[in-house]
Amino acid sequence: MNVARSFNNWRKYRQTVAELGRMSSRELDDLGIGRDEIRTIARAAIAR
């Protein structure tokens, strides 16, 4: 079960990083997110 959970968490992390990475700096700024925060936000997404 832990392997499946780890894989799903990794996939969710990568998807979040990819989606936020595709956004323009202006779009991220509108959301109050800096480019340097993307990985931190992705890590927080899998903690939920």
User: pLDDT at position 48, please?
Assistant: 76
Quick check: helix, strand or coil at residue 40?
helix
pLDDT per residue as tens digits for the range 1-48: 699 999 999 999 999 999 999 999 999 999 999 999 999 999 999 987
User: pLDDT at position 47, please?
Assistant: 87
Comparing C-alpha atoms, which of 25, 2, 18 is closest to residue 41? Answer: 18
- Which two tokens mark 44? 């927080």
User: pLDDT at position 1, please?
Assistant: 66
Domain-wise residue ranges, the chain? 1-43
Question: With contact defined as beta carbons under 8 Å apart, do 15 and 39 qualify?
Answer: no
**Which residues does 32 contact at the CB level (< 8 Å), separation at least 6?**
none
